[in-house]
Structure 1
Amino acid sequence: MGQIATALLLPDPAEMALIDRAGSRTVPVRALMEHAGRAVARAVIRHGAPCRVLVLCGPGNNGGDGYVAARRLAQAGWPVAVAALSPPRPGSDAAAAAGEWRGPRVAFTAAEVARADLVIDAVFGAGLSRAIDAALAEVLAAARRVVAVDMPSGIDGATGLVLGYAASAEMTVTFVRAKPGHLLLPGREKVGRLVVADIGMPETVWDAVTVRTWRNAPGLWQVPGQAVDSHKYARGVVSICGGGTMPGAARLAAGAARAAGAGLVRLAAGPAADLYRMAEPGLVVDDGGLSGLLEDRRRVVWVCGPGLTEQEVGRVLPMLLEAGRTVLADAGAFAWAAGAPERLAGVSVVTPHEGEFARVFGAPPAGRLAAARAAARRIGAVVVLKGPDTVIAAPDGRAAINDHASAALATAGSGDTLTGIIAALLAAGMAPWQAACAGVWIHGEAGMRAGPWPVAEQFDRHLGAARARAVSLGLAAAPRGADSRLCRLAGSGGVR
């Protein structure tokens, strides 16, 4: 398996346990622990000047990493003490690491924590599955500065949810790969600067474990570039259903589709066509009936929802699905499908924000990642659960988490822009999951290029450059071009 393929993987704690077990067949756990503790010490030394350090150690392997980090920092001349929540199990690798610590040990109390300049939190790692108690929370809360080992204690590594309490770290040092909880909120806000350290885990572990979650980035997908013989139909046709009540939303989606590279964008507005006649001159407005427009077999990709009422969606969406079109559903489609997600069965991509998602599927009970996956399976479509930690989930279980975005995207109409981008990539021939992942990344890139306080209309002027950057980075990430093993694996359901 290529380096790019595994570099973007986000194993959850259960998968990471299997990876550790597979790796230990080649490299002893004690050696991996030594490498991990050394990586923590090295990161702390690079992070700031020597100061009084207190290492809080739990009873498991995370605590073992902490004992090694304490020893390495003391060897480098830093004043270090250790406080143990409880001793490691006798005979364990963590116990061996604890036995090599010859420095001072102090009580595991808030008072001792308050005396330290820097606290290294090696109590619990990403695998924590229960809420920490009030006594531990009081100790953690007394720290002035925190560096976390693997994950700030109290963060669920699979969901990013806070289990009781979690201190905000200046830096988190994790090992092998980042975990979903490092990217999902609120965990992402608690992590601080994330350092992913190589601890010598053999590459063969990726052949033993199935991981189906990725960090969203070029190389996970390939965006088509421009060919010398391209023409508008080769670049793809996007058709958008326009309503008579809120024409602005459909126009925003259309503008984004054009700016993101669609060869031709057509607005099917029917009786409301006059509302769109004075739109951009490159936008074609159709006033004919939908059944007639569907006779054009070149019009494969359709957007249904932006600016449409429930009644308008109820009229056009069933017709699009009956005609076998590739449909991206958004906005008004969620009002029409409220409490009845089966109405969306047959669409290719849906792009709800959290409120729309809850309206259709119910409030997410177990975190955004699991909720998006469950919804994708339920309706057989790619689900883009929008937010600052957008999740893109496929019906077969593949999922990507996007952290390539800016708060500048939090403006009315931004979601319509995203819809248009994804539609343009679908029209260019990308498969739904890859198109959705790439569209979310390009949307984020455009948002970052647009500056701190843009309005949705301003994103379009940055979409060409954003797509070009996605193309460039994707080619650089794939040593054998679009047919690299990464693209085949990401398109086939997982990496083993």
Structure 2
Amino acid sequence: MTEATPAAHAAPAAPAARSLASELLNPHDLPLALYSVAELRAIEADAMAGLPPHTLMARAGHAAARFLREQIAHDNAAAATATVWVAAGHGNNGGDALVLAAELQRAGIAVEVCMPVEVKPDDARWALAEARAAGVAITAAPPASFERYGWLVDGMFGIGLARPLEGIFASLAHSLSQRARQGRVLALDVPSGLDSDTGNAVGAGAAVRATHTVTFIGAKPGLFMASGRDLAGIVTLAPIDVEHVTSAARTAVQLNAPALFARFLPARDFSTNKGSFGSLAVVGGDTGMCGAPILAARAALHTGAGKIHVALLGAGAPPYDPPHPELMLHPVDDLPLDKMDALAIGCGMGNRERASQVLNDVLALDVPKLLDADALNLLAVDASLAARVAARGAQGDPCVLTPHPLEAARLLGCDAPAVQRDRLAAARALTARFASVIVLKGTGTVIAAPDGRFAVNPTGNAALATGGTGDVLGGIIGALLAQRLPPYEAALAGVYLHGLAADTLTAQGDGPAGLTAGELAPMVRKLLNRMFYSG
């Protein structure tokens, strides 16, 4: 919970547990709202105004204790009887940890608390009294070794941390992170040291690497992007009976999920034909670089577009694609691009004057467009091309731009670290500059629309850190545009399926090391049919 100022009053009795106080939600496939620290502070203030003192802290501690009890119940005999060790900070996050410890102690689970600095806020002081009354062992110093403990709990700092961890707390963060490599570490609300808005370590300092996180009230964007995905581990949401937070009404940012795009996918009726699912042209492939657009085109084929063309700029391209002769390869001047239902532009396009001219020509066409790779680099160096993209978006015809952080930096005139410091802000700046749907690729890909909608994608893993996976994503989104999905929903669906394909292949043992970009497309096809067309 928020490291807030002390409560104005305190009560000696523990609040009664509510029926939903320990509800635990798996974020998988849920379009959860993702709340900033400022939004969470407002929600907490609203909720606390109508509740008895200590209620939210009691609910948070109960929810975390329930999570641990359920996990311990499934452990083997040795692990189930091992002591739980809890690190408690001096703010409200420490109070949550003390409630958890008291409840475990009362449930007969051995627990020890390390509290280097005694808690200060009134709510946390109440929690400390509860822990002492329950007989919890509390010390100021950590043990020399964590070997004899089962679960370790990080309850040092929550979302209110404004400066890097230091001193004993930085040391504990390091020790917990080391233990996470061979044991189990539960973080309460967020891993201590993590900026829950950005997914980066606060002040580039230390942060706890947990195996599991139980986050309270609402989900946070930083748990799903940048370093946050590695630091948070498996995330569980405990709404703690603040019902309205499952709605996106108070935030523009959501967790990407099928519910956001499924209804836009075309029906596959018996009476349909290839024309029902659109024609896509993948435009790119300067001399010696035809592999990238062909890779994108293969992905589009597996994503269900009716007809796939490859419009090549360079010389020396093959006359057809032997593994997929369904693809139609053309010199770019021989293909009527204005007759296509969508265009995916930029894969292997190069940066010669010819590429700039082709991009200038296609921007004039009244066809949905995705711009990737070299097309983005051309926008970054040619203000007139960038202005044309922005003008089309302002007229209600937004392109889809799919930059990785370095490409985004070029488009914004900054460097990649600046983009990564606040990915939501960078995506917001790109939508404003280009009036386009932005797919800012990376851990926790951000999808942003000019109308203010934002999503953070939860799928994907290190298997995607290999050449060509961006081309595959461009082909997938291009195919969905050809099937007449609106640009934002096409981007949501493409990013989600692309990442889920990597997750599924990794679960099968085909990743994360050594997975090739070309392996993604057949899995995207399988997922698309299994999830949306199997009924």
**TM > 0.5:** yes
Other-structure match for 2:453? 398
1:136 equivalent in structure 2: 169
Residue 250 of structure 1 deviates from its aligned partner by: 1.1
Paired with 2:333 and 2:520, the residues of 1 have a C-alpha distance of 31
Question: Compared with structure 1, are the counterparts of its residues 58 and 339 closer, same or farther at alpha carbon in structure 2 (3 Å cutoff)?
Answer: farther
Q: Give the SS at the match of 1:82.
A: strand
> What residue is the counterpart of 1:189 in the other structure?
230
- With the length of structure 1 as denominator, give the TM-score of the two structures: 0.85
2:294 counterpart SS class: helix
1:282 pairs with 2:346: no
Higher deviation after alignment, 324-333 or 127-136: 127-136
Cα 1:106–1:218 change in 2 (3 A) is same
Quick one: which amino acid aligns to residue 188 of structure 1? R
Deviation (angstroms), 1:107: 4.3
Structure 2 stretches lacking a partner, 5+ long? 1-24, 73-79, 391-397
- Say yes or no: does 1:261 pair with 2:322: no
Q: Which residue in the other structure is 1:488 paired with?
A: none
* Distance of aligned partners of 1:277 and 1:74 in 2 relative to their CA distance in 1, 3 Å threshold: closer
Task: Give the Cα–Cα distance (whole angstroms) in 2 for the partners of residues 226 and 432 of structure 1.
Answer: 20
Please tell me whether residue 465 in structure 1 is matched to residue 526 in structure 2.
Answer: yes
Amino acid at match of 2:187: A
In the TM superposition, what is the alpha-carbon distance from 1:66 to its structure 2 partner? 1.4
Larger CA deviation: 450-459 vs 304-313 = 450-459
Counterpart amino acid of residue 127 in structure 1: G
Give the letter for the 1:281 counterpart. P
Structure 2 residue 268 is the aligned partner of structure 1 residue 213: no
Structure 1 residues 117-169: Cα deviation after superposition (integer angstroms, max 9, x where no partner) = 25422121133232122332123334446321111110111111112111222
Q: Could you tell me which of 126, 138, 148 is aligned with 2:159? A: 126
Q: What displacement does 1:358 show?
A: 2.7
CA distance in 2, matches of 1:127, 1:84: 18
Provide closer, same or farther for how the CA distance between residues 112 and 94 of structure 1 changes in structure 2, counting only shifts above 3 A: farther
- Output the CA distance in 1 between the equivalents of 2:100 and 2:91: 14
CA distance in 2, matches of 1:360, 1:85: 47
Aligned length: 467
Q: Is residue 213 of structure 2 the alignment partner of residue 152 of structure 1?
A: no
CA–CA distance in 2 between the matches of 1:14 and 1:184?
18
Shift in alpha-carbon separation, 1:237–1:213, aligned structure 2, 3 A: same
Aligned pair partner of 1:343 in 366, 385, 406: 385
* SS in structure 1 of the partner of residue 95 of structure 2: helix
8 Å contact kept, 2:284–2:311: yes
Cα gap change, 1:342 to 1:214, in 2 (>3 Å) = farther
Name the CA shift for 1:364/1:220 in 2 (closer, same or farther; >3 Å). Answer: farther
Question: CA offsets, 1:173-202, max 9 Å, x none?
Answer: 112333112111312212233222242112
The residue number in structure 2 matching 1:108 is 140
Shift of 1:398: 2.2
**Structure 1 residue corresponding to 2:502, chosen from 428, 432, 447:** 447
Contact 2:30–2:255, Cα closer than 8 Å, also in 1: no
Offset, 1:441 = 1.4
Question: Which residue in 1 is equivalent to 2:13?
Answer: none
The structural deviation recorded for 1:424 is 0.8
Separation in structure 2 between the aligned mates of residue 319 and residue 173 of structure 1, nearest angstrom: 51
CA contact (8 A) 2:285 2:291 kept: no
Q: Are 2:105 and 2:111, in contact at CA under 8 Å, matched by a contact in 1? A: yes
Matched, 1:432 2:487: yes
Structure 1: runs of 5 or more not aligned:
476-496
Secondary structure of 1:239's aligned partner: strand
C-alpha separation between the residues in 2 aligned to 1:218 and 1:333? 29
Q: Is the 1:6–1:206 Cα contact (8 Å) retained in structure 2? A: no
- Classify 1:369/1:472 alpha carbon distance in 2 versus 1 (closer, same or farther; 3 Å): farther
In structure 2, which of residues 20, 31, 48 is the aligned counterpart of residue 24 of structure 1? Answer: 48
User: Which of 275, 283, 305 is the equivalent residue of 2:346?
Assistant: 305
Seen in structure 2, the aligned counterparts of structure 1 residues 166 and 72 have a Cα distance that, compared at 3 Å, is same
Whether contact under 8 Å (2:31, 2:259) holds in the other structure is no
Tell me if the contact between 2:101 and 2:136 (Cα under 8 Å) persists in the aligned partners: no
Letter in 1 for 2:227: P
Pairing 1:351-370 to 2, within 5 Å after superposition: 351-361=402-412, 362=414, 363-365=416-418, 366-370=421-425
Residue 57 of structure 1 corresponds to which residue in structure 2? 88
Shift in alpha-carbon separation, 1:66–1:412, aligned structure 2, 3 A:
same
Mean Cα deviation higher: 20-29 or 457-466: 20-29
Q: Percent identity?
A: 36
* Alpha-carbon offset, residue 439 of structure 1: 0.3
Q: Trace 1:171-186 onto structure 2 (pairs within 5 A).
A: 171-186=212-227
Q: Give the distance between the partners of 2:433 and 2:125, measured in 1 at CA.
A: 46
1:408 counterpart (458, 463, 481): 463
Q: 371, 374, 379: which one pairs with 1:332?
A: 374
- Aligned equivalent of 1:9, options 20, 26, 33: 33
8 Å contact from structure 2 (residues 111, 137) kept in 1: no
Aligned to 1:381: 436
Identify which of 409, 414, 427 aligns with 1:372. Answer: 427
**Helix, strand or coil: the match of 2:406?**
helix
Distance 1:320 1:288, change over 3 A: closer
Q: Which has the higher contact order (CA 8 A, sep 6+)?
A: 1
> Does the C-alpha gap of structure 1 residues 389 and 251 become closer, same or farther in structure 2, counting only changes over 3 Å?
same
Do residues 94 (structure 1) and 135 (structure 2) align? no
CA deviations on 1:381-418 (whole Å, 9 max, x unpaired) are 12212224322222233222222224333332221111
2:68 equivalent to 1:44 = yes
Q: Aligned residue for 1:80?
A: 111
Could you tell me how far 1:308 is from its partner in structure 2? Answer: 0.8
Q: Give the Cα separation in 2 of the matches to 1:334 and 1:444.
A: 22
Pair 343,210 (structure 1): closer, same or farther in 2 beyond 3 Å: farther
Structure 1 counterpart of 2:478: 423
Deviations 1:427-477 (A, max 9, x none): 11111111111001111233344432342333333332122234259x9xx
Return the alpha-carbon distance in structure 1 between the equivalents of residues 382 and 370 of structure 2: 17
Deviation per residue, 1:60-117 (Å, 9 max, x gap):
3322211211110110123334343544446x33332223222356443345786972
Q: Write the distance in 2 (CA, Å) between the matches of 1:131 and 1:230.
A: 58
Larger deviation: 389-398 or 269-278? 269-278
Deviations 1:312-351 (A, max 9, x none): 3311111112223322111111332335577343461111
Whole-Å separation in 1 of the counterparts to 2:312 and 2:490: 25
Change (3 A) 1:270 1:360: closer
Cα displacement string for residues 263-309 of structure 1 (whole angstroms, at most 9, x for unaligned residues): 1112233674863445533223344737x82453xx24111101111
